[in-house]
A and B are shown apart, each in its own frame.
Chain A
């Protein structure tokens, strides 16, 4: 078991997401940075879809009730175990009674907004509609469908026994992406892209966008040059996925994120590609970033690049495990 010590955490249990129930109107939820959670699970020898804790308000503290290996990935938040510093993007061993503290996210060479705590065996809450992710809108999954509170005690699954104590190169450094020295995400034009004026589209693709404080796991509201439709646009409510960039009447776009509802009626100018959702999910409020226009083939190539990198992480992890077992 691990116990939540922080008073107001707004941390939640997440896995890679709930993709089997979208057709029934159930949003995907899942980690905002799936790559980070996955890296933690790989180091620990967990199944890819083992659940961890996504922390987004700091400091955040938990106590381990048993000896347990764990991994911290995502935002580097100067974590300590009983006061001793831990490395970011690394697995470690805790002894029963030790307290893990996540401090404030560090600026450093890559700044993230969310930290993932994965534990050997995974957080063992019931699987609901194919996932352990907390779905706040429907109040399902995770622990009673809600964010974690002080005093919550979380069960841990059977230990995989195949983990290693090591670190991963942060993907923000291993797979950098920038445009004019600003962080960037790649975008596929969406159905209503051409319904906006050429001038406003040119600015959309060429100028920075800022993540406003009205941004959370549901969606990121952006501030920037604004988009203007050629003519008033009315679109019937239709299915949408995380990454879709909607344009409400204000012209200031909203990127739907992991807790987005699966339908919406605003026109869509584009979709952040799946391979780059983790980049956006880690950008702190106030970040200025750029959109890079790509086509379908480039979006697939980006996915292959991420998959290739994960394959390398798995390969070296297996190599080290074999060497230590020898």
Chain B
């Protein structure tokens, strides 16, 4: 059984190997490790979910250009591994001059995004892996 102290080591190994996301699932645990791109420090957000929690997709509510960051901002609306509240905007779909929000389906964690930032996505496309939490 893995101990919390081991996580630092695993995270360092992920960084040196260039692994952005690690997911471990057991009978009584569910662990998601995510780390930022480039030289950013390894994100230490760790999910210890309910045993029956399942990763669910967040689908695009419409067509548009997938943006994880508001055009005025430097930080993403919700980074990988970040906890978000139900209804919170976790990405934007740009259609011409408008930006439509993609809401979080529940309280939970952003596991990771599937499309590249700036990619054109269509209705129903899987945008995020999402881990609902109580």
A interface vs B, CB < 8 Å?
76, 84-85, 87-90, 106, 108-110, 165-170, 173-174, 309, 312-313, 315-317, 319-320, 323
Contact = CB atoms under 8 A, between A and B. Distances in A.
Q: How large is the interface on B (under 10, 10 to 19, 20 to 34, 35 or more residues)?
A: 10 to 19
Nearest to A323: B62
User: Which secondary structure dominates chain B's binding surface?
Assistant: loop
B57 interface: no
Nearest to A311: B97
Given A108-B74, A170-B71, A87 B98 contact: no
A106 B97 CA distance: 22
Interface of B: 62, 70-74, 77, 85, 88-89, 92, 94-101
8 tightest A-B CB contacts, nearest first = A167-B99, A316-B96, A316-B98, A313-B97, A108-B72, A312-B97, A166-B100, A169-B97
B62 A169 contact: no
Given A168-B97, A168-B98, 12 more contacts: A88-B70, A89-B72, A108-B73, A109-B73, A110-B72, A167-B98, A167-B99, A167-B100, A167-B101, A168-B99, A173-B71, A312-B97
Contact of B72 (A88, A309, A319, A323): A88
A76 B72 CA distance: 8
26 contacts: A84-B88, A87-B70, A87-B89, A88-B72, A90-B99, A90-B101, A109-B71, A109-B72, A109-B74, A110-B72, A166-B98, A167-B70, A167-B92, A167-B100, A167-B101, A168-B97, A168-B99, A169-B97, A169-B98, A170-B72, A309-B97, A312-B96, A313-B98, A316-B97, A316-B98, A320-B100
A312 B94 CA distance: 13
A312 to B, nearest CB: 5
A51 to B, nearest CB: 23
Tell which of B71, B74, B89, B98 has the most Cβ of chain A within 10 Å: B98
B116 to A, nearest CB: 20
Nearest to A88: B72
Nearest to A167: B99
B14 to A, nearest CB: 29
